[in-house]
Amino acid sequence: MARQLMDMGARIAICARDESELQRAQTELEKRGGEVFALTCDVKQPAQVERMIQQVNTRFGAIDILINNAGADIVGPLENQTMQDYDDLMKLHFWAPLYTSYAVLPQMQERHSGRIVNVSSVGGKIASPHMVAYCASKFALVGLSQGMRMELAKDGIAVTTVCPGLIHSGVIDHAIVKGQNRKEFAWFSISDSLPLISISAEKVARVRSRVDGEVPEK
């Protein structure tokens, strides 16, 4: 999404917790000839989110588009998923988008314009076995996003809910696998790579940029 937005002339602010990954992303994006502002931020921490938004406002001015795209996965049988697993995924998939959205809402409401994009998942519409904590948190994000869309339309703010299926995004490298780890990892990694049921991040980003409103699950 950052590559495509930059190619369309946008000035980009990106954030991540990992400074080395953030630097690599900034270096790659800058090679495309655009302006990139990279900030270290844990979006699960509201104070860090507020500071990040202030820094972006200082650098670029008002934020036109907010994309909530942080995500993780925990794969394993229900009996192997802990209360902490649910809490961790809710913090990342529900609370983090809420923090960032509330941080930009005052400026968007003042201008009567802006767009918030919440990247959920088909797992936020259809529950899957061995991914209960993940699906529960993504269901919560879909509910939040759809509710925001209805409420903020009067303020001229568009809210897009993105619910793709499996994406080649590197999430398999960061997924937490529980239970029979080797079997769970094999199932998840094979599903992530099958061309008929998984798609590239670039294709998802192109679909997102064309559709106003909720992106179809394909």
Residues 168-188, mean pLDDT to the nearest whole number: 55
8 A C-beta contact, residue 167 and residue 194:
no
pLDDT of residue 177: 74
User: Which residue bears the tokens 């670039």?
Assistant: 202
Active centre residues (catalytic): 134
The residues, ordered by sequence, that sit 6+ positions from 25 with a Cβ below 8 Å of its Cβ are 2, 14, 16, 38
Instruction: From the options 3.20.20.70, 3.40.50.720, 3.40.190.10, 2.40.50.180, give the CATH code of 64-210.
Output: 3.40.50.720
pLDDT of residue 168: 55
Q: Report the alpha-carbon distance of residue 102 to residue 175 in Å, rounded.
A: 28
Residue 81 CA neighbour count, 13 Å, CB half: 21
Q: Give the pair of three-digit tokens for residue 204.
A: 């998802």
pLDDT digits (tens, 9 = 90+) for 121-147: 999 999 988 999 999 999 999 999 999
Q: Report the alpha-carbon distance of residue 146 to residue 161 in Å, rounded.
A: 7
Task: Give domain limits for the chain.
Answer: 64-210
pLDDT of residue 195: 47
8 A C-beta contact, residue 138 and residue 121:
yes
Beta bridge partners of 97: none
Model confidence at 34, pLDDT cuts 50, 70, 90, reads confident
- Does the pTM surpass 0.75? The reply is yes
Model confidence at 206, pLDDT cuts 50, 70, 90, reads low
**Secondary-structure percent of the chain, ordered helix, strand, coil, rounded to 5:** 55, 15, 30
pLDDT at 166 over 90: no
- Per-residue DSSP letter, 210: H
Provide the 3-class DSSP secondary structure of residue 95.
Answer: helix
Q: Where are the alpha helices (DSSP H) in the chain?
A: 2-7, 19-30, 46-60, 83-90, 96-111, 132-152, 181-193, 201-210
Share of the chain above pLDDT 90, in %: 71
pLDDT digits (tens, 9 = 90+) for 64-110: 999 999 999 998 999 999 999 999 999 999 999 999 999 999 999 99
